[in-house]
Amino acid sequence: MSANEKQRRHCEDSPSPRPSPVKGEGVSITKDAIFAYCYAVLHDPVYRETYALNLKREFPRIPFYPDFDQWVAWGEALLKLHIDYEKVTPANLTRVDTPAPKRAEETHPKPKLKSNAEAGNIVIDEDTQLTGVPLQAWDYRLGNRSAIDWVLDQHKEKTPRDPTIREKFNSYRFADYKESCITLLPRVVTVSVETVAITKAMAALDRTGWAQL
């Protein structure tokens, strides 16, 4: 056995010590606090804009901002919103149902699943829409689309290209999930609005004298 192999096995067999949390001025600098801090920094609009080109080509580098405690608090708030999104208080949206009078019995309205930021509404299908959506809800984006539009896209009926899958497994119908989608969307709106409020607070910080990465 080589010396390197012996050293590797020794490291694997030896228990890793658990360092005590390092005390800062406020919160303890634990693994959870560092994770929350990093999560907040990665949502920082100024960070994303400043290093947009770098983030397309390499892994992110996390700067050490002043006021660690504040960034941890923001990160914890964001994590709670994004993990427990099904438990947040739903936004106060208005459901408007206008069933088509001439539709045949036992048929379902055609899904639309489109949002209109200017009008502040989400069209679910030919019969139903949600109104009263605040404009800032569309500002929280996952990639190149808003969280609202991402949810709508995931609920759309899609035809698989593979003929076998299309014939034997393409059983999804939006009508079966309409009510759960309508239940989810007001919560997504709450998550979006509160996330945007946090990221705006980040962007408003005075960063004079802050060191660059």
Tokens of 32: 């959870």
d(CA 125, CA 174): 9
Is pLDDT at 103 greater than 70 in this prediction? Answer: yes
Longest Cα–Cα distance of the chain, Å, equals 82
| 198 touches 42 (CB < 8 A) | no
Confidence (pTM): 0.81
Residue with the bigger pLDDT between 23 and 147: it is: 147
DSSP conformation class of 23: E
Dist. CA 213–CA 80, nearest whole Å = 28
> Are 130 and 122 spatial neighbours (Cβ–Cβ below 8 Å)?
yes
- The terminus-to-terminus CA distance of the chain in angstroms comes to 43
Residue 25: how many other CB atoms lie within 10 Å: 7
8-state DSSP, 93: -
Strands (E), 49-172: 94-97, 111-116, 121-125, 128-131, 141-142, 145-146
Quick one: pLDDT band at residue 4, thresholds 50, 70, 90? very low
- Token digits for 8? 């590797």
Cβ atoms of residues 159 and 171 within 8 Å: no
Residue-wise pLDDT tens digits, 59-102? 999 999 988 999 999 999 999 999 999 999 999 999 999 988 77
Q: Please enumerate in sequence order all residues whose Cβ is within 8 A of that of 210, keeping only pairs 6 or more positions apart, or say none.
A: 65, 66
Distance between CA 116 and CA 179 in Å, rounded?
20
Averaged pLDDT for residues 16-45 = 74
